[in-house]
Amino acid sequence: MLPMFLAAVDQTALATATPAIARDWGGLRDAVWISVGYLIAVTIMVPVYARVGDRYGRRETLLAALAVFAAGSAACALAPGMLTLALSRVAQGLGGGGLMVMCQALIGELVPPRERARYQGYFAVVFTLANVGGPVLGSLVVSHWGWRWLFLINLPLCALAAWRISTLPKGRSNPEAVALQDAVGVVLFAAAAGLSLVWLNFVGHRFPWLSVRSLIMAGTATLLWVLLVVRERRVRAPFLPVELLAIPGIRIMGLTVASFAACLFALVFFFPVYLQLGRQLTGPSAGLLLLPLSLGVVCGSALTGRLVARSGRPSRVPSAGLGLASASLILLGLLPPSLPTVIGLGAVCGIGFGTVMPVAQIIVQTLAGRERLGAASSIVSLARSAGGALGTAGFGALVFALLGATEPDAILRQGADPQAAAAVSLAFHSAFLGAGLLAGLGCLVALRLPRIQL
């Protein structure tokens, strides 16, 4: 649980710290890459760790990922500027991807199927507490010690996690598992994902949507995705677990998780920014207003784990939860942002989001079988990190495009006048509506999940 906590909390802990970092170095629009860079690296590395873990042993692969994550954390703590920090976050994500997928794969290796629901519920609570509680923790650390301590604290925790993981059963290597041989696929995937997110983050404020630069970037990204799909279908040992994506239930679960993660990550990262810019709240106050969402996710995850452990039927829960979250986000975009509204809708939205992750790994691992636990876990982790990266970048692109001439860095330095505050509120409320529609789409997709009896 500790490696899972470390990987998850680092995805969101900088949400409330982002304005402080932007004040130090300038460029709130560029500060989005502190989060997106980490998520890109996690997305790229998830399938790599899955293949390596299935073949050479999951415990040893998890220990290696911890070492990379610790080195990246140290680099972030020593970063002298925004660009260096963003690159260090990418390095940190190269280890974070392994923490995610190997923790989930080890549960599948050590725990029988019927009991996995209970353990996945525990893991979902830890994951969501870290994800949604990250901004609260980040605001407290930044206000008392400074944002660099968000990374320094990882070093002793990584050492503790490595010691505890070394006491787990070693497990067996599996020479028959598919080896990682598709270096070209790795490069194509990294280039396609990176260029797509760069375009999504820059278009609309760095250059117009229909400019030559925008069209070249979008066209190149599309070409890279096409080349990747063609290659992965032809190569004998593909980088992406396309053999599992051919199973309809796994493909549907991946799309469900991606839509869930896009909404949750965008909400967690940008909601504190909205409260500080549009409502002129302090960092700690903005972080505390995420607690209802956090507690809602924890309650939803815990209840889902227990319900599925008793019934053995996990398939219908995600659609109900995403429907609840969709309604809450749409109301959040339409209603005035009073304190009771934020608290109440945040809690209900969290309960809805909490239903997805406890059953995602169970469904995918059940459909994939024991011999492909690592690759199966990578589907969920890949969908979550890719959805989170796209959601964060897309939400930010929409907000900054709607802000128009309103400059967020000036609001950070001088405070917002009524006109600027109104522009910020309108932009964020429109983005909340978009997130609600995306959650509704995820609900419709989840209705097609196959019925499974554990």
Q: Which of 64, 58, 65 is nearest to 172 (CA)?
A: 58
**Whole-number Å distance between alpha carbons of 15 and 132:** 10
In this structure, how many other beta carbons lie within 10 angstroms of the beta carbon of residue 174? 16
What is residue 290's DSSP assignment?
T
Confidence (pLDDT) at 398: 81
Residue 203 bridge partners (DSSP): 207
Those residues with Cβ within 8 angstroms of residue 381's Cβ, 6 or more apart along the chain or in another chain: 42, 46, 50, 97, 100, 101, 104
Residue 135 φ then ψ, to 5°:
-60, -35
**Whole-number Å distance between alpha carbons of 13 and 160:** 20
The angle, 0 to 180 degrees and rounded to 10, between the axes of the packed helices 339-353 and 291-311 is 30
How do residues 20-49 score in pLDDT, each as one tens digit? 777 777 666 667 778 778 877 887 787 788
Confidence (pLDDT) at 44: 79
pLDDT tens track of the chain, all 454 residues? 889 888 878 766 776 677 777 777 766 666 777 877 887 788 778 778 877 887 788 888 999 999 999 999 999 999 888 889 889 999 998 998 888 788 878 887 888 776 776 787 777 778 767 766 777 777 778 778 888 888 998 999 999 999 999 888 876 666 665 556 777 888 888 888 888 877 877 776 677 878 899 999 999 999 999 998 888 888 877 777 777 777 888 899 999 999 999 998 888 777 777 777 766 676 667 667 777 887 888 888 888 878 887 888 888 889 999 999 999 999 988 988 777 888 899 899 999 998 898 888 788 888 887 667 667 777 887 788 778 878 887 887 788 777 766 666 566 555 556 677 777 778 888 888 999 999 999 999 999 988 888 7
The torsion angle over the Cα atoms of residues 374, 375, 376 and 378, rounded to 10 degrees, is: 90
Confidence (pLDDT) at 321: 93
